[in-house]
Structure 1
Amino acid sequence: MSEHRPTAVVLGGSLAGLLAARALADGGARVTVVERDALPDAPVPRKGLPQARHVHQLWSGGARALEELVPGAIGRLRAAGVSRVPMTTDMVALSPYGWYRRWAESAFMLPASRDLLDWVVRRLVLADGRIELVEGAEATGLTGTCGAVTGVRIRAHDGTERALTAGLVVDATGRGSRAPHWLAGLGLPAAERRDVDSGLVYASRLYRAPEAARAGFPIVNIEPDPRGAGSGRGGVLMPVEDGKWIVTLFGGRGDEPPAGAGEFERYARQELRHPLIGELLGGGAEPLGEVAVTRSTANRRHFFERMAVWPENFVVLGDAVCALNPVYGHGMAVAARSASALRDVVRRRGLGSRGLAREAQKAVGRTVRAAWDLAVGADVFYPGATGQGPTVRDRVLAAYVGRLLRTATGNGRIARRVTDVTALERGAEALLAPSVVVAAVAGPLKPALAAPPLTVSERRAAGL
């Protein structure tokens, strides 16, 4: 590698950090990724990623960004058994307004275990000779001034410390990011921040699917109703690689799903708005392991892009900017799109150019906007989600989105438009087109479905 290459340091070796490293390498940088933990050389659980045992999916907007950044990644996932699931063709979903029909494909989803997805991306990214990995070390602070960051201080697990000089530092350390503290240490004011905590608790368990249902079975989603009875109770059954199902159940404050294996299937059968997931588990699915529980589901956004002053050479992305309730499945797609936006700014401006970091931070802010509005627009109505309750904007947005979702149960064109926005294929402005507004006012074109839209063959395969 040429010594004249600009240098960059990426903090965090999970999905967001690895994709940011690839984006910067494509922009001409020599990149060092600093990761606190040891990263396994296999698709197995790793320390520092407890949420990996829950349902994960990569929406098509994120999948396209991933493939642009890491060509061949989607092919590797498919070869490892990950399905390409057309939306909403292969999803059986109960919304707060009734069952969705299974309309013709517009967007798609890649359901995979997080361990597999991270491993595939990690192998491809770290095979790039422009990217170096430093494991067993964590950042303790930035070097530089309020005007320009010059690098980062890191501490290894043995206590030794050193400083890494860099032309650009990217913080992708997730929900535990210290970026606000580091920026304050440089003398900068605090960024605007908003927290919306639905209080949802997740419980997940892995199953071996019945043999006849191990290929081509649809995703099943019993969506929670933030303003209905049984605050936040819902669940997802996600077919993943190797003929397995990951089942994640969730519930709000006072309605938490059980941590014990004995109560898991009872909750799915008796406590959700429909017993379908529980019935599927009782049709011959074999449990594989214990129940995993997590309570880290709050939405949190730092509006760094709105700060009046932003230092040169520092960018924050991924969950460190915008951490989302995992129920919406947007975290990985947003990370991929944010890394893609970073790459585009670096290619256009060139590393080391004045104002690059500020422009990149604004671009990252734009990539999180739709996912943030979708998550907060629902979660803000859970009891105790915020200290002040929903804002006027929250109420107006929720009322309109509610009309759209009700219309989508019986209007294929609107269902596909909503799905495209949910999949991050289009921006939220697509939902404000005049024809969409008119359709939302008119409501569904077809009557409500009385039962989940499973086919006869799917019911038979699942033992129903």
Structure 2
Amino acid sequence: MESTDCAVVIGASIGGLVAARALSDTYARVVVVDRDTLPDQPVTRRGVPQGRHLHALLAGGLQSLERLFPGLRRDLVASGAPMGDLQGELYWYNDGHRLCPATTGLTILGASRPLLEHAIRARVAALPGVEIVERCEVLGLTTTPDRMRVTGVRMLPVGTDATEQRVPADLVVDAGGRGSRSPVWLEALGYQRAPEETVRIDVTYVTRYYRREPGHLRGNFGAGGGAYPGVPRAGGVFAQDGDRFALSLTGMLGEEPPTDDAGMARYADSLPAPQIAEIIRSATPLDPPRKMRYPASTRRRYERLRRFPEGYLVMADALCSFNPIYGQGMTVAAMEALLLRRLLTAGTGQLAKRFFRQAAEIIDNPWSIAVGADLRFPGVQGRRPPLQRLTNAYIGRFHAAATRDPALGAAFLRVINLIDPPTRLFVPEVVARVLRASRQRPASA
């Protein structure tokens, strides 16, 4: 097959954009295709309904995006995104216990999803050889006669009488999100579907924006409290660009936050973080509440397939879609893009095999964090290893101990921000701190 020196990316959301950035170092031409209309301003768009809701870019994600796009953080701050210290300027509550405040140097950036996506898209569009095609739907894949290699895509402009177009490519990357068509397309080509792991959590969340005033939260960046057994509710309020707070209320396993002012305030009163209800009652709302549902986390195990066509990859949410409560999706997509860029420097031979194997290693930690936390709830179906109870008991003591020991808080934040692996919480010096702090009476919410 003659080389086209072209790569095609399906999806122009953040996963597709970071994939295009990685590909642009290897291919002379990169075509990003999306069926949505892409705005030239940082506003929500129809194709990303979750863009209206609270997004948290983890510290590990900010570091990864800065490696892909040097100066991105500076540009976002210049566009109005506030910054804060993750432990020193936020009220964190875990299992009802407030994390001991301290300065850690871990940064949280209050960039809304529309602002972040717009800034990344502008940088990708400015790369030599990159073309972003909007309002165009990918209908399927083209292949060699033996179907052993993907050779491009078939696509059709949305809402027009135009005819089907074909774009030949050396590599096609599916970053089409949770609605990925890869399982259907590959099955039609004679390949097995990738095994799937699904954890049903039935999350419902409601988000509203409020005007941020200097006196709110004593000038701090925000507050958050996660759900835990017996309290399947969570909430967070974080500073965002535009002098706003983004406030979300979340319910799991049938819990559903209300959308009226009084109901939202009562719901927030049931959370460990009193700052959330404070904002609902004292701040000026800027828009109506928006509700969204997320039924299940899904991981597609492409690394377990024996056969997979050359010239094709799946990444970001199309590969693994996480419970949005933990804010891991954008960070994992950026990490996968860095992996893709590194693998391409070593050549394109057996790219899918190498990528899926190492991407699985990237996904393992955030997946274990999210699924492990979800499986603490008896109503969540899933396999629970024998050590699960012991681990859960230890984490409960860990959160209680972290009310007094700021080093434990920093260790926990480094893990959930995907900087350190979860095993970091179980090393001897950390366990010793937990035991030592446990001898004192913890300060609860």
1:47-66 maps to which residues of 2 (within 5 A)? Answer: 47-66=46-65
Alpha-carbon distance in structure 2 between the residues aligned to 1:97 and 1:213: 22
Alpha-carbon distance in structure 2 between the residues aligned to 1:177 and 1:244: 33
Q: Identity percentage over the alignment?
A: 36
- Cα pair distance change 1:334/1:261, threshold 3 Å: same
Alpha-carbon distance in structure 2 between the residues aligned to 1:108 and 1:64: 10
Q: Which residue of 2 aligns with 1:177?
A: 180
- Cα pair distance change 1:215/1:450, threshold 3 Å: closer
Deviation string for 1:151-199 (max 9, x for gaps)?
A: 2222221363222211111111111111111221221222221111222
Alpha-carbon distance in structure 1 between the residues aligned to 2:193 and 2:390: 29
Q: Which residue of 2 aligns with 1:235?
A: 235
Q: CA deviation at 1:441?
A: 4.9
Q: CA deviation at 1:396?
A: 5.3
Q: CA deviation at 1:400?
A: 4.4
Contact (CA 8 Å) 1:198, 1:382: kept in 2 or not?
A: no
Any gaps of 5 or more consecutive residues in structure 1? 452-464
Tell me the number of residue pairs that the alignment of Structure 1 and Structure 2 aligns.
440
Alpha-carbon distance in structure 1 between the residues aligned to 2:186 and 2:71: 37
SS of corresponding position for 1:295: strand
Q: CA deviation at 1:262?
A: 4.7
Q: Which residue of 2 aligns with 1:252?
A: 252
In structure 2, give the amino acid aligned to 1:411. Answer: D
Q: CA deviation at 1:10?
A: 0.4
Q: Which residue of 2 aligns with 1:41?
A: 40
Q: Which residue of 2 aligns with 1:330?
A: 328
SS of corresponding position for 1:277: helix
- Cα pair distance change 1:129/1:215, threshold 3 Å: farther
Deviation string for 1:275-319 (max 9, x for gaps)?
A: 431123323x00111010000252111111222223221111111
In structure 2, give the amino acid aligned to 1:334. Answer: V
The alignment's C-alpha RMSD in Å is 2.3
Q: Which residue of 2 aligns with 1:417?
A: 411
- Are residue 208 (structure 1) and residue 203 (structure 2) matched? no
Alpha-carbon distance in structure 2 between the residues aligned to 1:55 and 1:217: 17
1:274-423 maps to which residues of 2 (within 5 A)? Answer: 274-283=273-282, 285-296=283-294, 298-347=296-345, 349-350=346-347, 353-386=348-381, 388=382, 390-392=384-386, 394-395=388-389, 397-423=391-417
Deviates more, 1:409-418 or 1:178-187: 409-418
Any gaps of 5 or more consecutive residues in structure 2? none
- Cα pair distance change 1:394/1:193, threshold 3 Å: farther
Deviation string for 1:335-377 (max 9, x for gaps)?
A: 1111111111112x22xx3212221222222222211111101
Q: Which residue of 2 aligns with 1:136?
A: 135
1:251-270 maps to which residues of 2 (within 5 A)? Answer: 251-269=251-269
Deviation string for 1:98-120 (max 9, x for gaps)?
A: 11111231422212211111111
SS of corresponding position for 1:44: coil
Deviation string for 1:1-54 (max 9, x for gaps)?
A: xx9872100000011101100110023441000101010000111111111121
In structure 2, give the amino acid aligned to 1:191. Answer: A
In structure 1, give the amino acid aligned to 2:255. Answer: D
Alpha-carbon distance in structure 2 between the residues aligned to 1:433 and 1:15: 35
Deviation string for 1:390-447 (max 9, x for gaps)?
A: 3446545544444433433332223222211211112334334332344445554754
Q: CA deviation at 1:246?
A: 0.7
Q: Which residue of 1 aligns with 2:199?
A: 196
Contact (CA 8 Å) 1:34, 1:138: kept in 2 or not?
A: yes
Alpha-carbon distance in structure 2 between the residues aligned to 1:303 and 1:394: 23
Alpha-carbon distance in structure 2 between the residues aligned to 1:297 and 1:238: 24
Deviation string for 1:54-76 (max 9, x for gaps)?
A: 11121121111111111221111
Contact (CA 8 Å) 1:214, 1:244: kept in 2 or not?
A: no
SS of corresponding position for 1:187: coil
Tell me the TM-score normalised to structure 2 length: 0.92
In structure 1, give the amino acid aligned to 2:301. Answer: F
Alpha-carbon distance in structure 1 between the residues aligned to 2:360 and 2:126: 30
Contact (CA 8 Å) 2:217, 2:275: kept in 1 or not?
A: no
Alpha-carbon distance in structure 1 between the residues aligned to 2:417 and 2:297: 18
Alpha-carbon distance in structure 2 between the residues aligned to 1:244 and 1:139: 37
